[in-house]
Structure 1
Amino acid sequence: MSSDLTDARTNDDLQDAVLDFSDVIQFLDELCQHAVRSLSDGEEVLCGITLLRDRKAATVASSSEYARKMDEIQYSFDDGPCLTSAREQLTVEVPDVRREERWPEYVAAISEHGLHSILAVPFDLAGDAKAALNVYSATAHKFTNEAIERANAYASEASRSLRLAVRIAQHSERANDLITAMESRTPIDIAIGIVMCQNRCTQTEAFTILRKASSHRNIKLRDLAGQIVAGANANSQPATHFDH
């Protein structure tokens, strides 16, 4: 791929990846591999994508398991280049970890793994979630001004795709929560319908009957509803308010 990360193809490729991958994590892994191909410049670098949500940091994609472990070292200290980049929306460079005075405990730990320079650039997610692209190199002063500019241009282009991926994940989580709630609610609704038919009462009155029975028997309303529905099925009673 051309080193010009502002080329329209870059964003098109990433947007296509969102559409091609039903699994958001798979998309993010491809996003990370795409970054490695774009930023290696002859020496393969390590890359990870850190996502901050609900005050928790996690590597949602990485170029390798080793890259993921390097990210996790930073999380153990709850501070460092990529966390600072994500939280403050700043580009953060560590030209040589052996001379870095910020985050002394973290740089001491990361230098033991033979990594000497780090670059972190933020994604613009325009919401509560924050993210940063983390690039590690075994070479000190690896990231030239040109490389930093390219990384920022890449992150700017990729932000739109990552923002979409995060939204897809959020909608998926909400949908799963709704399905779980509906699955829990359905037996109660069916039981209410059975009670309405058996007692010739309103929906509100039927729910009151169930709630009182649940309290009297010291059993959860959901479990009581399940027993009523099972009993109705065993007795082949047809009454539910979903039937027509």
Structure 2
Amino acid sequence: MDANLPLADELAALTARIADLLLTHETVDEAVSALAQSLKEAIPGTLGAGVSLMDTRGRRTSTASTDPAIVQADQFQYDLRQGPCLTAWAQRTTVVVEDSRTDNRWPAWSRAIADLPLRSVISSPLSTPDGAIGALKVYSPLPNGFDPRAIRLIELLARPAALMLANTQARDAAQRLSDGLVSILTARDAVGTASGIVMERNHVNRDQALATLISASRQRNEPLHQLARDIIAGGEL
């Protein structure tokens, strides 16, 4: 990203680029990974970036990091239940660490990352009208590695990124629901067809045929829908 651009122009260009990336990725995990990589490339002085989506209890639902050191630093946060990313999410405010070796807000986390090449951090919440859904963060290997412009750019970028990720989450959830319904309907149809076959073979009514399938499913410890498919394929009870 051109550091000479006015902030508004830089933000517009970066937002458009990220929007294109997020809207063309079909799953949340893909979108989160694309956003993390874009952050690393967009913010000068960044060693690596990460994005985490969380539920209302602060549990990760999706996460991506661009570099091994970022993976470690983030994992320490989740294991220790403290750190700038979790604070940014919980308090819905941008958190800046100028030097992890002198910042005493998260002592256990600061000690844990002491051997990593990470000294300063910006973490900003991914906030939507319904609440924060996670946080994004960039790390520098130098103390005071980010200037006010970088901090402001992250803050301004986080809101549209949050809305786009929330839309991706909703789309992903709808797709999973749709796939689940298809599976349920397919299984139901298979059981119905198999019941018809058992009716014809055993000269029983539909309720009796279904009871026969259920009993066989239990005896074989085989899912009913799988047994139904076996029957349709010519298998015997």
Please report the TM-score for the alignment, with normalisation by the length of structure 1: 0.76
Q: What's the offset of the Cα at 1:140?
A: 1.6
Provide the identity percentage. Answer: 27
* Partner amino acid, structure 1, of 2:36: C
TM-score, normalization by structure 2: 0.78
Q: Is the aligned partner of 1:110 residue 2:116?
A: no
1:37-186 alignment runs, 5 A limit: 37-40=41-44, 43-53=45-55, 55-57=58-60, 60-126=63-129, 130-182=133-185, 184-186=187-189
**1:120, distance to aligned residue in structure 2 (A):** 0.8
CA distance 1:127–1:206, shift in 2 (3 Å): farther
**1:28 aligned onto 2:18:** no
d(CA) in 1 for partners of 2:52 and 2:113? 16
**In structure 1, distance between residues paired with 2:161 and 2:6:** 15
Q: 1:154 to 1:206 in 2, by over 3 A?
A: same
User: CA, structure 1 residues 111+160, in 2 after alignment: closer, same or farther (shift >3 Å)?
Assistant: same
Per-residue deviation, 1:27: 3.2
Q: CA deviation at 1:212?
A: 4.5
- Measure the CA separation in 1 of the matches of 2:185 and 2:146: 52
Question: For each residue in 1:4-42, what CA deviation from the matched residue of structure 2 results, as whole angstroms up to 9, or x when unmatched?
Answer: 2574443332222233334543333232222223322xx
Say if 1:214 and 1:156 are closer, same or farther in 2 by CA, change over 3 A. closer
- Alpha-carbon deviations, 1:176-235, whole Å to 9, x = none? 444444554443222122234453634x454234334545x4644345434432336x9x
What 5-or-longer segments of structure 1 have no aligned partner? 235-244
Residue deviations 1:77-124 (CA, integer Å, cap 9, x gap): 122110121233221122221222222111111122132211110112
Partner Cα separation in structure 1 for residue 76 and residue 30 of structure 2? 23
SS of alignment partner, residue 124 of structure 2: strand
**CA, structure 1 residues 230+129, in 2 after alignment: closer, same or farther (shift >3 Å)?**
farther
Show the counterpart of 2:22.
Answer: 18
Over 3 Å counting, the alpha-carbon distance change for 1:125 and 1:152 in structure 2 is same
For residue 122 of structure 1, what is the amino acid of its counterpart? P
Q: Which residue does 1:210 correspond to in 2?
A: 213
Contact 1:59 1:71 in 2 (8 A): no
Single out whichever of 131-140 and 160-169 deviates more from structure 2. Answer: 160-169
Aligned length: 229
Distance of aligned partners of 1:113 and 1:56 in 2 relative to their CA distance in 1, 3 Å threshold: same
1:151 Cα offset (Å):
1.1
Distance between the aligned counterparts of 2:6 and 2:64, measured in 1? Answer: 22
- Off by >6 Å, runs of 4+ in structure 1: none
RMSD: 3.1
DSSP-derived class of the 1:97 partner: coil
Distance 2:132 2:150 in 1: 26
Paired letter, 1:194: I
Q: Distance in 2 between matches of 1:82 and 1:5?
A: 25
